[in-house]
Amino acid sequence: MSAKVTAAEIEAAIRTVPDFPKPGIQFKDITPLLADARLFAGAIDLLTAQFSPGSIDAVVGIDARGFIFAAAAATKLNAGFVPVRKRGKLPFTTIEQDYALEYGNATVAIHTDAIRPGSRVLLIDDLLATGGTSAAAAALVQKLGGKILEASFLIELKFLNGREKLSGFPVRSLVAY
């Protein structure tokens, strides 16, 4: 068996692409990490380390890169996977939550039957920036009666203070900038 993956190895596999998708943004590209079988599996191990299989009912992943990590974490934890998507993408009845972007607003949605009241939820996204997206996703889960045990991120941009928007549950990230 290969040695345990470290946060430093994960950080080394994340590529920073300057000025994408617009000038001034340092885009954190996770595709080199995903392409490496050992590092991808190791990232999932680290994201789920706090929990034993059966201790989580649903892993909620955020559109779109959050799906990749949340779906893999769900199978590892023997939990269901629930998508939170951008407005207009989910086919069944939804509830929606607006949040502020740097310029304008965005809306995320969840199926009304996706979370049973009292469900133990792990929320996962690839990256925590201002926290607007994950706070909106957390609000949807809580509106459906889900109990968020933790919000986990591969990457956290600390200087944007996204954690301040996420209260009432622990927030964890593997790599911080």
Beta-strand ranges (E) seen in the chain are 15-18, 26-29, 58-62, 80-86, 94-100, 105-111, 120-128, 147-156, 171-176
Closest-CA residue to 52 (of 73, 83, 72, 68): 73
Closer to ligand AMP at the Cβ: 42 or 131?
A: 131
How far apart CA 86 and CA 105 sit, in angstroms, is 12
Burial of 13 (0-12, 13-18, 19+ CB in 10 A): buried
Which of 15, 38, 65, 172 is flagged as catalytic? 65
Location of structure tokens 């954690």: 163
Does position 156 interact with ligand AMP (CB under 6 A)? The reply is: no
Compute how many residues bind ligand AMP; rule: CB under 6 A: 17
Which of 9, 102, 156, 163 is flagged as catalytic? 102
Tell the smallest beta-carbon distance from residue 139 to ligand AMP (Å).
Answer: 13
Question: Does residue 130 contact residue 151 with C-beta atoms inside 8 Å?
Answer: no
Token pair in block for residue 48: 């789920």
Tell the smallest beta-carbon distance from residue 30 to ligand AMP (Å).
Answer: 8
Applying CB under 6 A, the span of 24-32, 39-47, 68-76, 89-97 interacting with ligand AMP comes to 24-32
Which residues in 102-131 contact ligand AMP (CB under 6 A)? 125-131
Token pair in block for residue 67: 């799906």
Per CB under 6 A, the list member of 42, 61, 83, 132 interacting with ligand AMP is 132
Tell the smallest beta-carbon distance from residue 45 to ligand AMP (Å).
Answer: 21
Does position 25 interact with ligand AMP (CB under 6 A)? The reply is: yes
CB neighbours of residue 150 within 10 Å: 18
Is 65 a residue of the active site? yes
* Contact code string over 50-89 relative to ligand AMP, x by CB under 6 A: ------------x--x------------------------
Q: What is the binding site for ligand AMP (CB under 6 A)? A: 25-28, 62, 65, 125-134, 162
Known catalytic residues?
A: 65, 102
